[in-house]
Amino acid sequence: MKLEKSKLIGNKTIQISGSKSISNRLLILESLFKNIQIGNLSNSQDTQLLKKALSENTEIVDIHHAGTAMRFLTSYYSIKEGKTTILTGSKRMKERPIKNLVTALQNLGVEIEYMENEGFPPLKIKGRKITKTTVDVPANISSQFITSLLLIAGKLENGLEINLIGEVTSRSYIEMTLSILTKFGIKNSFVGNKVKVEHFNENNNSSPVNYEVESDWSSASYFYSFAALARETIHLKSFYKESTQGDSAIAKIYENFFGIKTTFTEGEHQLTLQPIENFQFPEKIVLDMNDCPDIAQTLCVTAASLKIPFEISGLGTLRVKETDRLLALYNELKKLGTETEITDLMIKSVSFNDPEDNISIKTYQDHRMAMSFAPFCLMKELNIEDEDVVEKSYPMFWEDLDEILTIK
């Protein structure tokens, strides 16, 4: 997709669909407990794939690129007593590690077999009743492994206690999961490195619980980038001030480093992104994004566009996402004129030069690469390759950009 050099039209309002992270958690709980009514469900491809998998009673389940669905369904099918499920996905999905989750489930007594390569999908899962009550899980790989176990824990007759080994990555996502469980009456605790979920007696909780899904903060991050580069106001709908989403950290990050103040209109659940007048940009951005790694790409592109030096750490999980996001950033930021250094955990800028002519951004089958680089069109014309990847999390992204951009 060719993006002409553009200008942002100020004071436009965008309605982003429900959070993919929350929606996918709710779909698993809805399937397990039946007492949930969901509103404003995400329209993302990942959520639709998960919904389809849960509605079909098939032996082979193909979730394509949907990493969240792969992890959540691994635990979900593990407690389907007497049912054998083959859980598979795309070529890239077969390269994304899942061993820590599988090992945890095997230690709980589930029979799971790797069908191709050790530690990776596809998986053959033979569901059974889990009676063990404790399990150890490395905490520094993916919070979705932990959430996957937490979502089924209330269904286990003895509940579950998870001992988190090592430094906890993306703690906010675990806390979001526990907050959702609490809303449905599933008792839990998170003390130190121990997470405990009690058995949930559905007979004592027959009345349905309505849950209106908040819009997606990671999707909001791209509009923070547009506001920061254009110095124009943008309004976003269906967001809550007291959000459980870890990516809501974007509000404070962009206020501190890019001078974009967030204000909330309570009754309308609307937030306004407003540039601070005469804001002085920092000499350097140094930030640990361990709790919100999914918005790191957005921040790096914003900083690169403004030529603000940056050093972003806490990014160990980005190596095993839809693509190796650190390597992808290293490659594509060069086209914007930004040289970087990367390790397994961080990325930092080294120098800023003139951007290339005829910029074409590779997306590596990664939705966030497409959307995080799009705001650079305010600086220079560019092409986004394989633009349809946005369907994974934000299918209406390009249509929404048409509402706020005009050709300069």
Q: Is residue 401 within 8 Å of residue 376, measured between CB atoms?
A: no
Neighbouring residues of 50: CB distance < 8 A, sequence distance ≥ 6: 24, 27, 28, 63, 66, 68, 69, 72, 73
CA dist 274 and 231 (Å) reads: 8
- Please, where are the H alpha helices in 154-240? 171-183, 217-230
DSSP 112: E
Bridge-based pairing of strands 382-384 and 359-361 is parallel
Let me know if 288 is a catalytic residue: no
Q: Is residue 120 within 8 Å of residue 95, measured between CB atoms?
A: yes
Catalytic option among 46, 216, 247, 294: 294
DSSP string, 282-339: -S-EEEE-TT-GGGHHHHHHHHHHHT--EEEE--GGGGGSSS-HHHHHHHHHGGGTEE
| Distance (Å) of CA 238 to CA 13, 15, 39, 269, 322 | 11, 7, 12, 5, 27
Look up tokens 């490395």; give the residue.
138
Largest Cα–Cα separation, the chain: 65
Q: Is residue 304 within 8 Å of residue 338, measured between CB atoms?
A: yes
Helix (H, G, I), strand (E, B) or coil at 2: strand
Q: Which of 327, 301, 318, 322 is nearest to 169 (CA)?
A: 318
CA dist 174 and 172 (Å) reads: 5
Look at phi and psi of residue 354 and say left if phi exceeds 0, alpha if psi is from -120 to 50, else beta.
beta
CA dist 408 and 400 (Å) reads: 18
Q: Which of 64, 62, 27, 30 is nearest to 47 (CA)?
A: 27
Over its C-alpha atoms, the chain yields an Rg (Å, rounded) of: 21
Active site residues: 294
